[in-house]
Amino acid sequence: MGLDLRGQAAVIAGGAGGLGSATVRHLAAHGAGVVVLDPDESAAHTLVNEIGEHAAVVAGDALDDNALGRAIESAQALGAFTIAVSATGVVIPSRRLVSRSGAILDLDIFQQNFDLHVLGPANLARYSAAAFATNTPTSDGQRGVVVLTASISAFDGQVSMVPYAAAKGAVVSMVLPMARDLAPLGVRVCAIAPGGFVTPRLSDPAVQDLLAEDAVFPRRLGRPDEFADLVGSIVANPYLNGEVIRLDGATRLSPQMGPPPSNDSR
């Protein structure tokens, strides 16, 4: 039987982005009410207008308790709020920990990565789980599911990606203890660790080609609808919990993306 989410509602943080918007479309196509929590108000409204009924925008940040509270209230107005997905991202430029010329990486790059990739998702998870706790449980005691977005960089981080890899590693490490913490509430927690996906943050064709070279099969980048489909599978399968799933065509990232330029001073 296909995924039937009628009567349920989801908050998708980063829902206006590449992976997020595919998730919003997928969940909505299977009947869920969807709330797009994203600071990119214009992209969020364009998406919600496309979906029509049973969709809402909360322009804001997953780190903002107030915006999160409004997103959860909006979801509860659209149905039983049972699904929280974190797909937030911005590109935070980084470089080697110490460059060949001796420049030391700014600690603020770590802070920005941890705010975006760890504290935001943790905030979404804690507020969502508290709201899920008030749901009537299913016959096997389930009240909701949290899906986080890690990255294969958590496992094979490349040159110049220490802060990002550390933050995504923290996402991976949060999943099992979160699942254990939230089990008494009937809340499951999983994460997807994507390889390279074609989204606005990876719009440079040269970068896409380099990343696709590391894929084994299919030898291409992932499509956002393939990510969204996995979110749907996690939501649908009540026995999936505490797990991080790589979605990467068997990609194992090489140490660095492409050959270093001859004057590499990163």
Ligand X SMILES: NC(=O)c1ccc[n+]([C@@H]2O[C@H](COP(=O)([O-])OP(=O)(O)OC[C@H]3O[C@@H](n4cnc5c(N)ncnc54)[C@H](O)[C@@H]3O)[C@@H](O)[C@H]2O)c1
Catalytic machinery residues? 164
Write the interaction track for ligand X spanning residues 117-156; mark x where CB under 6 A is met and - where it is not: x--x----------------------------x-x-----
Q: Which of 19, 129, 154, 190 binds ligand X (CB under 6 A)?
A: 19
Residues numbered 219-258 forming contacts with ligand X, rule: CB under 6 A: none
Residue closer to ligand X (CB basis): 80 or 118: 118
20 binds ligand X (CB under 6 A): yes
Chain centroid, CA 9 distance in Å: 17
Q: Using CA atoms, how far apart are residues 59 and 45, in angstroms rounded to an integer?
A: 9
Report yes or no: 83 and 27 within 8 Å, Cβ to Cβ: yes
Residue ranges of E strands in the chain: 8-13, 33-38, 55-59, 80-86, 144-149, 187-194, 243-247
Residue nearest to ligand X (CB): 17
Residues 35, 38, 144, 244: which binds ligand X (CB under 6 A)? 38
List C-alpha distances in Å: 83 to 59, 189, 245, 265: 19, 10, 18, 45
Q: Write out the DSSP string of 77-140.
A: HHSEEEEEEE----------SB-TT-PBPPHHHHHHHHIIIIIHHHHHHHHHHHHHTTSPP-TT
Among 10, 34, 37, 215, contact with ligand X (rule: CB under 6 A) = 37
- Considering only residues 88 to 117 of the shown chain, the ones binding ligand X according to CB under 6 A are 88-90, 116-117
Question: Of the candidates 113, 199, 241, 251, which one interacts with ligand X according to CB under 6 A?
Answer: 199
Query: Which of 39, 69, 238, 242 contacts ligand X by CB under 6 A?
Result: 39
Site for ligand X in 42-71 (CB under 6 A): 43, 61-63
Binding flag, residue 202, ligand X (CB under 6 A): yes
* Ramachandran region, residue 160 (left: φ > 0; alpha: ψ -120 to 50; beta: rest): left
**Which of 119/183 has CB closer to ligand X?**
119
Give the residue with the Cβ less far from ligand X, 50 or 264.
50
Closest CA relative to residue 55, chosen from 41, 70, 75: 75
Is residue 83 at the binding interface for ligand X, with CB under 6 A as the rule?
no
Q: Which of 156, 129, 124 is nearest to 13 (CA)?
A: 124
Name which position in 9, 51, 80, 87 contacts ligand X (CB under 6 A). 87
Cβ(19)–Cβ(43) below 8 Å: no
Q: How far is the CB of 112 from ligand X (least distance, A)?
A: 10
Min dist. Cβ of residue 75 to ligand X (A): 15
Is residue 79 close enough to count as binding ligand X by CB under 6 A? no
